[in-house]
Chains A and B, each alone.
Chain A
Amino acid sequence: MFLALKLAYRNLVGAGLRTWLNVIVLSFSYVVIIWLKGLMVGWDHQARFDMEKWQIAKGQYWHKLYDQYDPFSLTESHAPVPQRFLPFITEGAMVPVLVVQASLYPHGRMQPILLKGIPKNQNLLKLPVAALDTITDAIPAIIGTNMARSAKLGKGDRVVLRWRDKSGTFDAAEVVVTDVFATNVPAIDGGQVWIDLEKLRQMMLLPNEATYLSFGQGIKEIPEVNEFVLKTQQELTSEIDVMIKTKTTGQSVFYIILLLLAMLAIFDTQVLSIFRRQKEIGTYVALGYTRQQVVMLFTIEGAMHAVLAAAVAAVYGIPFFIWQSHAGFTIPMDSSDYGIAMAQTMYPVFTVGLIVSTTLIVLITTAVVSYCPSRRIAQMNPTEALRGKIQ
């Protein structure tokens, strides 16, 4: 086996330029595949991290009628905060949020929005609620950058807000944008206006009520408390998994094309080398190799492309990966088109498992591709191979 490796290495390096071309193409596949996969892992980590920080903390309790995709459920999906949550809220370990439908009138046109109330003193979530603690004649409100863009609103702008209270009575007031926050979490940004919870409760005539509550570290998770049901962090982030999975599946087409190109080159090299080296093959047989052993020899030689490519890939790939994981990769597209958190700059994460699994896949593929043409050797007549006359 060691002999085969040494022989394969010698033969490959002896083949010169052709080998290095193959190796470079293959090493490129390694680096690109690992980089893309790393980007996906990085995206996944970042999306989870951002979602936890901005939106869900360690988990949430939802009113049992709350459906985040159905705004019409909002009139029913609220209830007084359960007694047992109150101490946690006082401590700051739990944050109640009330969600209602409302309309905004920026620049004279109507825009339906979700109006969300959050305690102006909370610090469990990253939302800049301090800006809600401002005394003005209008209602202080904060919005995300996407909302600011779509409604053409900026810090200090005033805008008319219209809503219907619990009993269905319309009312209107002016809000003032006291802060615009930039977040990667679309679920708290587009089409939403955040105001102080107590203010919203007064406006809606819903004292002490909430639609959902986010909780932090150390809160015992109970499946159901009064009308509120537990949503674990895992459940809440499951849509990230789905999203990442679809993205990854889409990417694998790209991986396959990339690998296919490299494999084509290696296949071609193998076919040519078997054709050109018939005498050598005959010599191996004359020296006492079985034809299967010669097949093995050529397979290892082909598969060694992958080993050399891994080494070459390491030379320029590792510095590139290190640089990428620090500098990040800036996505040249509008991330607000995506349903989940996606930063403008993503930091790829390269795990050992990722690198090992990619290397193995490339190695196995290369071995298989090298084996296929080598199988022909087993059918060769050694005397004809020695004469070098096989067409």
Chain B
Amino acid sequence: MTNNPIITTEKLIKKFPMGKGEFLALKGIDLEFNEGEFAGLIGPSGSGKTTLLNIIGSLDTPSEGEAMVLGQPVSQLTARQAAQLRKEKLGFIFQSYNLLAVHTVFENVEFPLLLLKYTPSQRQKMVMDALEWVGLTDKVNSKPPALSGGECQRVAIARAMVKKPMVVLADEPTANLDAANSHNILKTMEMLNKELKTTFLFATHDEKVISYLHRKIFLIDGKIDRDELIK
């Protein structure tokens, strides 16, 4: 692990318009993440976890302050540049999987690759590799409605990982899963973090997830309460 941070946030403030005034969802966040971290934003509902994750994922922009993601200032990016950043370097995992129901597992995982310049045979190999990581090679031709929640989330992990992104952002990835499945996918992600050096950033309040984290950042009311490094 280098000590060169790949994500930094500086005095990050996010305001949402609310009624006549505005609501402060993030009240000055200063954070640094290094390559290969397995970190989580932990906090009660409404503490700003998703908001922070979305800004780091360049899906949203800060109201004040700056987030540098892989050398790019999120607040300065054009929509096109932000899309480019997401397409090449970021992977997302959502609580509700967000798979494309009309497509097979293979096609869902292949999807991010279609935006990048890979040949069909390269894609084929990358998809099969990703499905192997998550242990779903026997379900390539199934469609999401025919899969269990755990399987869906594993497809979503494969989709996020297939292009070997620098950073994976996972917002409550276990919220819809039972304990066994939660441990299962967390182990998978831990393995991928180790093998591929992918940085994982979670947003969660699930104890099971928290127990796997190597770094725990506690958010309360849009502020960092504690930042604990494990091991």
List residues of A (1-55) whose CB comes within 8 Å of B's CBs. Answer: 3, 7, 10-11, 13-14
- Prevailing SS type, chain A contact patch: helix
The stretch among A67-75, A106-114, A285-293 that forms the contact with chain B is: A285-293
Contact A287 B86 (CB under 8 A): yes
Contact of B83 among A10, A13, A285, A383 (CB under 8 A): A285
Contact B94 A291 (CB under 8 A): no
In the assembled complex, B65 has its CB within 8 A of some CB on chain A: no
Contact of A11 among B59, B87, B102, B114 (CB under 8 A): B102
Contact B115 A289 (CB under 8 A): yes
Chain A residues closer than 8 Å to B60, beta-carbon distance: 381-383
Chain A residues closer than 8 Å to B101, beta-carbon distance: 14
- Known contacts A286-B59, A289-B83; is A383 also within 8 Å of B54 by CB? yes
Q: Interface centre among A279, A283, A291, by most B CB within 10 Å?
A: A283
User: How far is B78's CA from A291's CA once the two chains are assembled, in angstroms?
Assistant: 12
User: How far is B103's CA from A13's CA once the two chains are assembled, in angstroms?
Assistant: 11
In the assembled complex, A282 has its CB within 8 A of some CB on chain B: yes
B80 — nearest CB in chain A belongs to which residue?
Answer: A290
A323: shortest Cβ distance to chain B, in Å?
A: 37
A16: shortest Cβ distance to chain B, in Å?
A: 10
Chain A residues closer than 8 Å to B102, beta-carbon distance: 10-11, 13-14
Interface residues on B, range: 20 to 34
- Known contacts A287-B92, A288-B87; is A279 also within 8 Å of B79 by CB? no
B121: shortest Cβ distance to chain A, in Å?
A: 16
List residues of B (54-97) whose CB comes within 8 Å of A's CBs. Answer: 54, 57, 59-60, 79-80, 83-84, 86-88, 90, 92, 94, 96
Between A and B, how many residue pairs show CB distances below 8 Å? 61
Contact B59 A386 (CB under 8 A): yes
- Known contacts A14-B101, A279-B96; is A290 also within 8 Å of B79 by CB? yes
Contact B96 A286 (CB under 8 A): no
In the assembled complex, A280 has its CB within 8 A of some CB on chain B: yes
Contact A286 B92 (CB under 8 A): yes
Chain B residues closer than 8 Å to A13, beta-carbon distance: 102
User: How far is B115's CA from A288's CA once the two chains are assembled, in angstroms?
Assistant: 8
Contact A386 B79 (CB under 8 A): no
Chain B residues closer than 8 Å to A7, beta-carbon distance: 100, 103
A269: shortest Cβ distance to chain B, in Å?
A: 15
Contact of A287 among B79, B103, B111 (CB under 8 A): B111
Contact B59 A288 (CB under 8 A): no
A54: shortest Cβ distance to chain B, in Å?
A: 61
In the assembled complex, B98 has its CB within 8 A of some CB on chain A: yes
Contact of A285 among B50, B59, B100 (CB under 8 A): B59
Contact B103 A290 (CB under 8 A): no
Chain B residues closer than 8 Å to A289, beta-carbon distance: 83, 87, 115
Contact B87 A287 (CB under 8 A): yes
Contact B98 A282 (CB under 8 A): yes
User: How far is B108's CA from A280's CA once the two chains are assembled, in angstroms?
Assistant: 12
Contact of B98 among A3, A279, A291, A293 (CB under 8 A): A279
Instruction: Flag A320-336 by CB within 8 Å of B: 1 or 0 each.
Output: 00000000000000000
Chain B residues closer than 8 Å to A291, beta-carbon distance: 79
User: How far is B88's CA from A280's CA once the two chains are assembled, in angstroms?
Assistant: 19
Chain B residues closer than 8 Å to A280, beta-carbon distance: 98, 100
Mind listing 10 A-B residue pairs with CB under 8 Å? A3-B114, A10-B102, A285-B86, A286-B92, A287-B92, A287-B111, A288-B83, A288-B90, A289-B87, A382-B59
The chain B residues found within 8 Å of chain A, CB to CB, are 50, 54, 57, 59-60, 79-80, 83-84, 86-88, 90, 92, 94, 96, 98, 100-103, 111-112, 114-115, 159
The chain A residues found within 8 Å of chain B, CB to CB, are 3, 7, 10-11, 13-14, 279-280, 282-283, 285-291, 293, 381-383, 386
